[in-house]
Structure 1
Amino acid sequence: MRITSALVDPALLDLPWSTPLEEWPADHLVALPQGISRHVVRFVRLAGTVYAVKETGERVAEREYDLLRALERIDFPSVEAVAIVADRVDPTGEPLDPVLITRHLQFSLPYRALFSNTLRPETMNRLLDALAALIVRMHLTGFFWGDCSLSNTLFRRDAGAFAAYLVDAETGALHSRLSNGQRGEDLEIARVNIFGEALDLQAAGLLHESIDPEVVCEEVVARYERLWHEITFEQQVAREARHDIEGRIRRLNELGFDVAEVAMSLVEQGAYLIRPKVVDAGYHSRRLLRLTGLDAEENQARRLLNDLDTYRAESDLTDEQQAAHRWLTEVFEPVVRAVPAHLRRKLEPSELFAQVIEHRWRLSEKAGRDVGLAPAVQSFLADVLVHRPDEQAVLGIEVAAG
């Protein structure tokens, strides 16, 4: 047996590598919601960390391992490659398929686990928005997926929306930039795969009757095209309307994308042609991380920063760093500490705080006054959070394949 690992964890040696993955004993496994996969996949817990173990071919495992490591280096939203275990043999000496080990993304779920009975239109819309944004980010970095689908994506809650993460990269390729043809091929693959997944949900009675599978697969492409256009199109701006340049940058920031530079050229009739160079998503996440050290999804970060800005204005603090420190210690951390230990696996801290803010607004609207943060926290814990499933690790749930 040979282990190639980015993580030095001797506990990897204790797993039953001489047994086919499909026959691993239950005492080594963790029951987590699992999407559709052409490979055998099992989840294991080692030293408090959950890993996904997938049997595949050796060349495929090595290629996917290298790609996931490359994506991690550029901070792309994907699962983290941990190790490859090759040269496996069973007790009779027969060779077994190598496995790829990735770290399970906490608080993430496959799309099939995001609903209990029927996938409603609003939930489908949020999933498609998240997937379209993921593909745009991917193409901006020069990554060709080659098997884009809902099944190959994990989703995390993001303050009323979802954040999407790539979970299967075995068909991918990383280039300096993608051609329009490569982007189009990826979108066509996405269209076909998502149409099949929507038909599968419909056949299982898990798709709302108002959702048309054909519309779903076309819609994800349309959402991608709108977002790609907003990020990349050349805009002509008149000399007397130079503020439109700043407005364009602000719109891109609101979409969550950073602008590294803006190329401007003078065209006929004294107008400017501007081309922003978008480098990556995560504008609000990076600002929140810089100010507070909190690592959050983009929409979560936007909500938290809005609350921070409100706190700063109400406290009459001019120094942003000082306001961020006080907000963190006087507002955010007390809310997180108020959650009883047995409820802390239900939502990650940033999502918890974002939902508490939303809950406070709803209570205040109903009461016709600001109810205050502390009563909103207690109401959220008693009336909302206690009824939520544990999303850090949803144990004992079997997700049907069809």
Structure 2
Amino acid sequence: MALQISATNPEHPALLLELPWHLPLEQWPEEVLVPLPRGISRHVVRYARAGDEVIAVKELAERPALREYELLRDLDRLGIPSVDPLAVVTGRTDAAGGPLESVLVTRHLGGSQPYRSMFETTMRPATMHRLMDALAVLLVRLHLAGFAWGDCSLSNTLFRRDAGAYAAYLVDAETGDLHPQLSTGQRDYDLDLARVNISGELLDLEASGALHPSVDPIEFGMEICARYQSLWQELTRTSVYPAGKYHYIERRIRRLNELGFDVAEMQIEHATNGDTVTFVPKVVDAGHHQRQLLRLTGLDTEENQARRLLNDLESWMATQDDYAPGDPLGARPEVLAHRWVRDVFRPTVRAVPLELRGSMDPAEIYHELLEHRWYLSERAQHDIGLDTVVEDYINNILPTARETLQPTTSD
């Protein structure tokens, strides 16, 4: 069988052909390798350079290599943090014509580290807690997407620093399986494996003297379960809110935002005993809100402003009679967004006199009004209408803000 390279990008096969596929990975010469820290793996893994790319090359049998390649492509399409699949190389033979194992080629995740290299200096417990948070978020995201990992562990994860916290990426999907939806049993099985694997890995670190003396490996293994369950409950629970208390919905959205999730879709079903609210969460990349708000409304704002306005738009759309996600007869989001700008955003901003706005642009004014509505609604324990909010903001907030901004004078 001739050497065959199946790649996601037509440019990659030519670059990959330059590598010594006729040699087992363990025998690859130093000049093609890149000295990066490697985690523990049941397979031989090496980092190499292919053109301008740094790649990870993993040697395994053909069938699991092809399967993992397709699973990683599926995860990429779903927007799950995982290594980027580049190619599968099959039909390898040595110089004498003997068969060699196939390889899976992925792009090296820049700035990432395997957990063992992070413990080369003793890691403080507070940092380890952040590591567990990152792994819990990754596992929840996988389960929300219907992916049963089958071998969740620190060894099968790469970690990258993210603004004082950590982001976790799946690096080994060999044991995984994708389903339309996971059962509670499938999720519990994954979680129990994570607990056992993490405790075992930390016990190994303890035996080598690389673990902080205050860290209990068994307790930290249990911690991933507690953090996962808390996050899963917050993301998936269905809430029933009394009529007229939509600020409760906003409180829920804020909690999701603080956990690093955004509301991809919100459904409100009206009932006599209250409104049932179902959220479909997802994690989005930087600048997502700016792009989405600009596409839907034509408003060009800062990222945090856009997030706030989109949350309000989503809440407003869910109350409209013709809002029916997935229903071809329902109003399209773009139509509803245009109506929101026309009937809600612009009239609300214009209600604030021009001479009182100072240097604030319309998006910032609306953001301020939403914040004030949140405060008033929380204090009153019921939803406060925007007309009342605007009046209170003009009478009680803007005068104080102007006094604060007034320059001081001396005699």
Normalization by structure 1: what TM-score? 0.71
- 1:67/1:253 CA distance change after superposition, 3 Å: same
Partner of 1:2: 4
Aligned to 2:73, what secondary structure does the other structure show?
A: helix
Pick one of 155, 174, 179 that aligns with 1:175. Answer: 179
Aligned to 1:88, what secondary structure does the other structure show?
A: coil
Shift of 1:314: 9.9
Question: Is 1:233 aligned with 2:227?
Answer: no
Question: Is 1:62 aligned with 2:66?
Answer: yes
Shift of 1:141: 0.6
Structure 2 Cα separation of the partners of residues 229 and 176 of structure 1:
20
Pick one of 216, 219, 226 that aligns with 2:220. Answer: 216
Query: Match of 2:235, as an amino acid?
Result: I
- 1:117/1:314 CA distance change after superposition, 3 Å: farther
Structure 1 Cα separation of the partners of residues 358 and 100 of structure 2:
64
Aligned to 2:233, what secondary structure does the other structure show?
A: helix
Runs ≥4 residues deviating over 3 A = 288-292, 313-320
Partner of 2:277: 274
Partner of 2:321: none
Shift of 1:253: 2.5
Structure 1 Cα separation of the partners of residues 185 and 217 of structure 2:
25
Partner of 2:289: 287
Aligned to 1:181, what secondary structure does the other structure show?
A: helix
From the CA coordinates, give the structure whose radius of gyration is larger: 2
Question: Is 1:197 aligned with 2:201?
Answer: yes
Residue pair 2:263, 2:279 contacting (<8 A) in 1 also: no
Aligned to 1:14, what secondary structure does the other structure show?
A: coil
Question: Is 1:101 aligned with 2:105?
Answer: yes
Shift of 1:249: 2.0
Question: Is 1:156 aligned with 2:175?
Answer: no
Aligned to 2:17, what secondary structure does the other structure show?
A: helix
Partner of 1:249: 253
Structure 1 Cα separation of the partners of residues 239 and 256 of structure 2:
13
Structure 2 Cα separation of the partners of residues 126 and 289 of structure 1:
30
Give structure 2 stretches of 5+ with no counterpart.
Answer: 295-302, 309-356, 365-411
Structure 2 Cα separation of the partners of residues 288 and 113 of structure 1:
37
Which deviates more, 104-113 or 159-168? 104-113
* Aligned residues: CA RMSD: 2.5
Residue pair 2:253, 2:262 contacting (<8 A) in 1 also: no
Shift of 1:76: 1.3
Partner of 2:266: 261
Aligned to 1:239, what secondary structure does the other structure show?
A: coil
Normalization by structure 2: what TM-score? 0.69
Equivalent residues in 2 for 1:2-401 (5 A)? 2-7=4-9, 8-9=11-12, 10-255=14-259, 256-266=261-271, 270-278=273-281, 280-282=282-284, 286-287=288-289, 316-318=360-362
Residue pair 1:79, 1:104 contacting (<8 A) in 2 also: yes
Structure 1 Cα separation of the partners of residues 87 and 125 of structure 2:
39
Give structure 1 stretches of 5+ with no counterpart.
Answer: 293-300, 307-312, 321-402
Percent of aligned positions with the same letter in both sequences? 51
Shift of 1:114: 2.3
